[in-house]
């Protein structure tokens, strides 16, 4: 049988069978996230102690319910623990305060950002594919993050995409999606998509200001100029965004 490795230390150690969940149905664990968490435990071991409140001879779990749930299932499926789980002891005057601490430890006050996550993954040399397959961050759409910060093919309109006047025949949404996936993504500039979205949200106003005929004309003009502008700035910093460029705005 495969053993579950313990890769942390705590104040005490307790077997899963002696632990009592204390958050009720406050959180759910989807099958997809169950598999991710099980995979994390198998890859990295059980790497953080549970938080436990001992009251009237009962070990109530204050924090770490999902890890306990996954460990329990793994034991039922034949995995083995060679030693009890590390736990840290939490103090509370009564059940009400203990429940308040459940909410406090469950709360997330810091918010992860795409730029911050990109910097963290790059510095640690963690492959972006691990984000979608192995981890779960409620504030991050892993698929959109990966698409926005990794290389995507340059879209070049083909002759069959154009009508007799040479205009590219696509819906506005298709056109915008394609331009947002152009070569600027290869530069990995985190503000590029926000810049393009700002353009898209204001196409009608920009069209009138520039006295241009169609939204397509506006997109072609703005993306062309902005792409050149951002590429120049990227080249000046060897392709890496700096504090001065991350707030770059469209030139119009």
Domain with residue 9: its CATH number is 3.90.1530.10
Domain end position, chosen among 118, 150, 182: 150
Q: Name which residue leads in pLDDT, 172 or 12.
A: 12
Residues in contact with 3: Cβ distance below 8 Å, sequence separation at least 6, in sequence order:
79, 80, 81, 82
Q: Is 93 or 210 the better-scoring residue by pLDDT? A: 93
Q: What is the dihedral of CA 126, 129, 135, 138, to 10 degrees?
A: 110
Residues 176 and 213 reside in one and the same domain: yes
Interval 117-161: pLDDT, tens: 888 888 888 877 777 778 888 888 777 777 776 544 333 444 444
Q: Give the residue with greater pLDDT, 79 vs 185.
A: 79
Exposure of 132 in the CB half-sphere (CA atoms within 13 A): 9
Secondary structure (3-state) at 26: coil
Q: Which of 135-139, 172-176, 184-188, 227-231 has the weakest average pLDDT?
A: 184-188
> Considering the chain, what percentage of its residues have pLDDT values greater than 90?
39
> Model confidence at 195, in pLDDT bands (50, 70, 90)?
low
Convert the pLDDT of each residue in 26-74 to its tens digit: 999 999 899 999 999 999 999 999 999 999 999 999 999 999 999 999 9
Clarify whether residues 182 and 237 are in a common domain.
yes
Banded model confidence at residue 103, pLDDT cuts 50, 70, 90: very high
> What pLDDT score was predicted for residue 83?
95
Looking at the structure of the chain, the number of domains it has is 3
Whether residue 224 sits in one domain with residue 171:
yes
83 in the same domain as 60: yes
**What is the pLDDT averaged over residues 100-104?**
95
Where does a domain end: 106, 141, 165? 106
Choice between 158 and 79, residue whose per-residue pLDDT is larger:
79
pTM of the model: 0.56
Position with higher pLDDT, 84 vs 180: 84
In this predicted structure, the answer to whether residue 112 has a pLDDT above a threshold of 70 is yes
Domain boundary among 120, 150, 180: 150
Per-residue pLDDT, 233: 58
Considering the domain architecture, whether residues 7 and 100 belong to the same structural domain is answered as yes
- Residue 138 and residue 169 in one domain: no
* SS3 category, 28: coil
Quote the pLDDT of residue 145. Answer: 75
Q: Do residues 96 and 48 share a domain?
A: yes
Question: What DSSP state is assigned to residue 162?
Answer: B
| In a shared domain, residues 17 and 57 | yes
Read off the pLDDT of each residue in 4-31 and give the average, rounded to a whole number: 95
Supply the mean pLDDT for the chain. Answer: 75
198 vs 251, residue with greater confidence: 198
For residues 88 and 121, membership in a common domain is answered with no
Which residue range is the domain that position 145 belongs to?
110-150
Residues 195 and 213 in one domain: yes
The residues near 93 (Cβ < 8 Å, ≥ 6 apart) are none
pLDDT higher than 50, residue 243: no
* Average pLDDT value for residue range 189-196: 51
Question: Which comes out higher in pLDDT, residue 185 or 55?
Answer: 55
- Looking at the chain, the whole-number percentage of residues with pLDDT higher than 70 is 60
Is the domain of 81 the same as that of 144?
Answer: no
Lowest mean pLDDT among 12-26, 198-212, 228-242: 228-242
> Exposed, middle or buried: residue 188 (CB in 10 Å: 0-12, 13-18, 19+)?
middle
Indicate if 12 and 57 belong to the same structural domain: yes
């Amino acid at each position: 049988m495969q053993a579950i490795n313990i890769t942390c230390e705590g104040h005490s150690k307790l077997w899963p069978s002696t632990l009592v969940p204390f958050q009720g149905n406050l959180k759910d664990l989807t099958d997809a996230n169950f598999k991710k968490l099980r995979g994390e435990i198998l890859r990295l071991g059980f790497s953080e102690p549970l938080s436990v409140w001992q009251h009237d001879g009962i070990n109530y779990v204050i924090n770490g319910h999902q890890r306990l749930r996954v460990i329990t299932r793994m034991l039922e499926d034949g995995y083995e623990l060679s030693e009890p789980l590390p736990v840290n002891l939490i103090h509370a005057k009564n059940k009400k305060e203990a429940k308040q601490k459940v909410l406090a430890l469950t709360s997330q006050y810091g918010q992860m950002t795409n730029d911050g996550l990109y910097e963290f993954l790059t510095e640690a040399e963690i492959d972006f594919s691990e984000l979608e397959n192995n981890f779960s961050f409620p504030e991050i759409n892993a698929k959109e993050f990966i698409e926005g910060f990794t290389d995507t093919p340059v879209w070049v309109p083909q002759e069959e995409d154009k009508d007799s006047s040479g205009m590219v025949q696509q819906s506005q949404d298709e056109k915008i999606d394609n331009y947002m996936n152009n070569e600027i993504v290869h530069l990995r500039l985190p503000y590029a998509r926000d810049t393009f979205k700002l353009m898209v949200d204001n196409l009608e106003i920009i069209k009138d200001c520039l006295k241009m005929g169609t939204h397509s004309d506006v997109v072609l003009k703005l993306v062309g100029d902005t792409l050149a502008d951002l590429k120049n700035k990227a080249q000046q910093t060897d392709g890496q965004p700096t504090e001065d460029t991350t707030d770059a705005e469209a030139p119009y």
